[in-house]
Amino acid sequence: MKFFASLVDRLMATTKTNEKIGALEEYFHNASDRDKVWVIALFTGRRPKRTISSTLLRVWCAEYCQLPLWLVEECYHTVGDLSETIALLIDAYYTPDTHPADHSLTHYIEAFHQVEKATEAERKQVMLQGWKELQTVTERFIFNKLLSGSFRIGVSQQLMVKALAKVTQLEPAVIAHRISGKWDPGKITFDELLNDAGSLADDSRPYPFYLAYPLEAEPESLGSIEDWQAEWKWDGIRGQLIKRNNEFFVWSRGEELMTDKFPEYDPICKLLPDGTVLDGEIIVANGNEPLPFSLMQKRIGRKNLSNKIMQEAPVSFFAYDLLELNFEDYRSRPLAERRLALEQVVKLVNHEKLQLSSVVTCATWQELRELREESRQHYAEGFMLKRKDSVYQTGRKRGDWWKWKLDPMTIDCVMIYAQKGSGRRSNLYTDYTFAVRDGDSLVPFAKAYSGLTDKEFAQVDAFVKRNAIEKFGPVRTVKPDLVFELAFEGIAESNRHKSGVAVRFPRIKRWRHDKKPDEINTLDDLRQLLELYGTN
Amino acid sequence: MGLIQFTDKGLFCTKGGFYIDPWRPVDHAIITHGHSDHAKGGSKNYLCHTYSKPILQHRLGEANYQTVVWDQKLTINGVTVSLHPAGHVIGSSQVRVEYKGEVYVFSGDYKTEDDGISGAFAPVRCHTFITESTFGLPIYKWKPQQHIYNDMQQWILQNKQEGKASVLLAYSLGKAQRILGAISQVTDEIYVHGAIYNMQEVLLAHQLHHVKVIRISNELPKEKYRNAVIVAPPGADGTSWMKKFTPYRTAICSGWMQVRGNQRRRNADKGFVLSDHCDFEGLLSSIKATGCEKAFVTHGFQSVFTKYLNEIGIDASEVKTAYGNEAEEETEKEADQLNHPSS
């Protein structure tokens, strides 16, 4: 564990990409084969199956430190990360009564795996053993993290790809593809994962998504509209449909395998030619007619897909790109060519669940601009602009693809609750609940935690610390004094909130120092927006 | 009614007619130490420790200062007043107030580990103890300072080896002096920001510290900063003032660095967990050592800490004060000085 811990320490000790890549490179040159595979897995969000609940961790930690459980909870709210909280507490109350050990990373992962069906006492034994035999806060932090969540230590997928490309001397795009998809870090070797043989073995592997930046300038700056393809920007889940060797996979952009979540797509699979990968939007729709996104949220939240929810929230796949055909990688062909091939595939399949995301043709940018105002009627967020001769790139890139979104809706509201954030916002009140006025009362309608500068967050934090009304647990009720303009993309009816509405992607647009709490918007204003743009 | 009242101007001794660390101007103020959230200007008369006087003069300007040494007893309107070492920064003191056998002690800010320059904290027996709780959570547990100094020295040597300057960010009063002592063992030339230079000049002139430093200025050629060791206040971080040190690494020296997220938020390359306040155990052991019947808890995690004290059988209540913002205020003040480097 020491070797991996020193990598984690080095990664956290720098903010510079090159130093991080250097640290990873050195690690991959020297670490054991099995540990290396686990590190790739852990840093790309593939954690081992959880075998000990966080509740038990808290209880055992409190017991070991002889602290009341509520105090452990308070620490957690301040630190914002349970693994770190426990590592700090164990470190503070540790009495050296166990022989220090330096087992491998894989050793601990396997130890957790082995207690999956063990008794609580046996699981506790594994936990205490680790806490005691490991020696530093970092080692214990990693140990806890193996159970409780993903490592957020500033290593992005992209960074990992760059480091592995250096180690293996392969192209970054090749690496990105090979480490994506479904593979079992407990079974695959480093070479199998990264060399050719391994990539052939896995038919499920998706391509890294090409992502667009928002267009901040006017579209005229992009040159002639003739060179661009415009499509509605759908409000769904970006996904890839993959059929290889008659097996079918649905991936989300978050690299989550979601095949089971969308059984409606199974018929598409039968009709698709073998060796095909489509990029598109998983979208709640009746055939080619999109429905409100709020239905998708309802559906995604369910553990079991009932017939009822599948009827209420049916899904289609709006395809907009073709990445592989006849097992051939199409990504380096120009969009215009990919589009033609895509149109043929969709036609061939000819199933209502597979729709072609239509191209919107306008003679001028101005015409398109006017059409964009109607986005909400189409359940779209604006347009995607793609250069017709663009290749399908890897990750978020500027230049060839842009999202040109509609301006968000906005509401002035007042902050009424605050909660401390996590990660780099640890011990800072950065998660807020906002309310609008309804007569004499304030009605909460949205939570947001982005949009302010670090300095503004510090100011709000200081305000919360001085004006908190209730003091225990994570949430503080604060004096309704600070007014913010909140921006959001959509609005729908909801019975989850007191206000009866739910807004989509709420974020703070600006702090309205110029407004007083009695000048904020009302519940009626929200209802009016709901009537105008409501999607449910 | 208690001997010390919590008023909207600060802690007020009813019988003695004086305030302790008032945040508004008053007639008689006893000052625990020179940090800006405890020492405010504008009062008519100040009483402080001998070592604090030059610091207050530097920060608040000329005023009517009366000084005492630790354990020296004064009688003010029949109330016995004395100062006792708090170990927080140079001159920092606890204030003991006694009237007809009843003893109150206000801790000010304090730390239990002796840093060799601030005087060694000694608990004072009392009936009522008013304590800070800046780090009043059990996650805050400090390593011995020598351990941290060693790490710091290693870090500097490594940066040097890699051709980088080391920029240590620390408050100009307190943390800076501790760090200067530690790093003077690995370098002869320490470059400092004007705010730290000015403070250091004051301390040197009164023999309160011994490390000589070089003031960073536009007249110095940039080559001087190659592989150099620089100490600057936190407010300097991220400003264009830092550019001249490139290439460099930054380290923040603060108890808050105990939590990784804080370190990441500040975007520093390194965080040294070095505090001028007690850790959780330090707070508990100090409170117990006073033998107090009643504890009042202020600035920090006062709600949580108070609840815990009550659970372990120490009668405690929380009080609101305006203390605990030394970080914000000093940072702002020091940022101002960056804009007016001559001041």
Whole-number average pLDDT of chain A: 89
**Residue ranges matching CATH 1.10.3260.10 in chain A:** 2-148
Q: Please list, in sequence order, all residues whose beta carbon lies within 8 angstroms of the beta carbon of residue A226, skipping any fewer than 6 positions away.
A: none
Across the interface, of A13, A71, A462, the residue whose CB is closest to B138 is A71
pLDDT of residue B337: 46
CB atoms within 10 A of CB A425: 20
Q: Please list, in sequence order, all residues whose beta carbon lies within 8 angstroms of the beta carbon of residue A22, skipping any fewer than 6 positions away.
A: none
Across the interface, of A79, A85, A423, the residue whose CB is closest to B264 is A423
Tell if the CB–CB gap between A71 and B270 is shorter than 8 Å.
Answer: no
Q: Which residues of A touch B164 (CB under 8 A)?
A: none
Tell if the CB–CB gap between B261 and A89 is shorter than 8 Å.
Answer: no
- Mark residue B179 as left, alpha or beta (left: phi above 0; alpha: psi -120 to 50; beta: remaining): alpha
Distance CA B276, CA B89 (A): 7
Backbone φ, ψ for residue B113 (5° rounding):
-80, 130
Distance CA B46, CA B132 (A): 22
More confident residue, A83 or B326: A83
Q: Is A205 helix (H, G, I), strand (E, B) or coil?
A: coil
pLDDT of residue B331: 45
CB atoms within 10 A of CB B255: 22
Q: In Å, how far are A213, A281, A318 from A309, measured between CA atoms?
A: 34, 19, 20
pLDDT of residue A322: 97
Per-residue model confidence as pLDDT tens digits over A52-78: 999 999 999 999 999 999 999 999 999
- Residue pair B167/B232 in contact (Cβ under 8 Å)? The answer is yes
- Residue pair A506/A435 in contact (Cβ under 8 Å)? The answer is no
Place of tokens 């035999």: A133
Which residue of chain A is at minimal alpha-carbon distance from B137?
A75
Q: In Å, how far are A321, B33, B199 from B211, measured between CA atoms?
A: 67, 21, 12
Any idea which residues of A carry the catalytic annotation?
Answer: 233
More confident residue, A209 or B266: A209
- Asked if CATH classification 3.90.1170.50 holds for the domain at A210-405, the reply, yes or no, is no
Distance CA A522, CA A527 (A): 9
Rounded to the nearest 10 degrees, how much is the dihedral formed by the CA atoms of B221, B224, B227, B233?
-80
Q: Is A415 helix (H, G, I), strand (E, B) or coil?
A: strand
Per-residue model confidence as pLDDT tens digits over A238-247: 999 999 998 8
Name the minimum distance, in Å, from the CA of B323 to any CA of chain A: 11
The 3 state secondary structure assigned to chain B is CCCEEEECCEEEECCCCEEECCCCCCCEEECCCCCCCCCCCCCCEEEEECCHHHHHHHHHCCCEEEEECCCCCEEECCEEEEEEECCCCCCCEEEEEEECCEEEEECCCCCCCCCCCCCCCCCCCCCEEEEEECCCCCCCCCCCHHHHHHHHHHHHHHHHHCCCEEEEECCCCCHHHHHHHHHCCCCCCEEECHHHHHHHHHHHHCCCCCCCCEECCCCCCHHHHCCCEEEECHHHCCCHHHHHHCCEEEEEECHHHHCHHHHHHCCCCEEECCCCCCCHHHHHHHHHHHCCCEEEEEEECHHHHHHHHHHCCCCEEECCCCCCCHHHHHHHHHHHHHHCCCC
Across the interface, of A13, A88, A454, the residue whose CB is closest to B258 is A88
Tell me the ipTM for this assembly. Answer: 0.92
The dotted CATH code for B4-139+276-339 is 3.60.15.10
- Confidence category of residue A297, pLDDT binned at 50, 70, 90: confident
Q: Which of A176-185, A298-307, B276-285 ranks highest by mean pLDDT?
A: B276-285
Q: Which residues of B touch A70 (CB under 8 A)?
A: 307
pLDDT of residue B343: 33
Per-residue model confidence as pLDDT tens digits over A382-436: 999 999 999 999 888 899 999 999 888 999 999 999 998 887 788 889 999 999 9
Place of tokens 């790139």: A393
b/e sequence A90-102, b meaning 16+ C-beta within 10 Å: bbbebeeeeeeee
Q: DSSP alpha helices (H): ranges in A243-400?
A: 266-271, 293-301, 307-312, 335-349, 365-372
- Low-confidence stretches of chain B (pLDDT < 50) are 326-343
Per-residue model confidence as pLDDT tens digits over A40-54: 999 887 878 888 999
CATH topology of domain A2-148: DNA ligase i, domain 1 (1.10.3260)
Q: Which residues of B touch A79 (CB under 8 A)?
A: 139, 259, 261
**Residue ranges matching CATH 3.30.470.30 in chain A:** 210-405
Q: In Å, how far are B229, B302, B325 from A118, measured between CA atoms?
A: 54, 41, 50
pLDDT of residue A355: 96
Q: Which of residues 137-196 of A touch B (CB under 8 A)?
A: 154
Q: Give the pLDDT mean for A491-499.
A: 81
Beta bridge partners of A421: A426
Tell if the CB–CB gap between B281 and A92 is shorter than 8 Å.
Answer: yes
Per-residue model confidence as pLDDT tens digits over A456-485: 998 999 899 888 876 767 888 999 999 999
Least confident of A119-123, A183-187, A262-266: A183-187
Query: What are B's interface residues with A at a Cβ cutoff of 8 A?
Result: 137-141, 256, 258-265, 267, 269-270, 280-281, 301, 303-304, 307-308, 311, 325, 328
If you classify domain B145-272 with CATH, what class do you get?
Answer: alpha beta
pLDDT of residue A26: 95
Tell if the CB–CB gap between B265 and A91 is shorter than 8 Å.
Answer: no
Least confident of A313-327, A367-381, B287-301: A367-381
Q: In Å, how far are A293, A294, A382, A452, B5 from A307, measured between CA atoms?
A: 19, 18, 32, 43, 68
pLDDT of residue B159: 95
Q: Which of B267, B207, B200 is nearest to B231 (CA)?
A: B200
pLDDT of residue A205: 82
Q: Which residues of B touch A63 (CB under 8 A)?
A: none
**Residue ranges matching CATH 2.40.50.140 in chain A:** 409-533
The CATH homologous superfamily to which domain A409-533 belongs is Nucleic acid-binding proteins (2.40.50.140)
Instruction: Tell me if the bond preceding B247 is cis, omega within 30° of 0.
Output: yes
Which residue of chain B is at minimal alpha-carbon distance from A469?
B303
Which residue of chain A is at minimal alpha-carbon distance from B261?
A424
- Confidence category of residue A197, pLDDT binned at 50, 70, 90: low
Distance CA A105, CA A393 (A): 34
- Residue pair B21/B299 in contact (Cβ under 8 Å)? The answer is no
Percent of chain A whose pLDDT exceeds 90: 60
Name the minimum distance, in Å, from the CA of B99 to any CA of chain A: 33
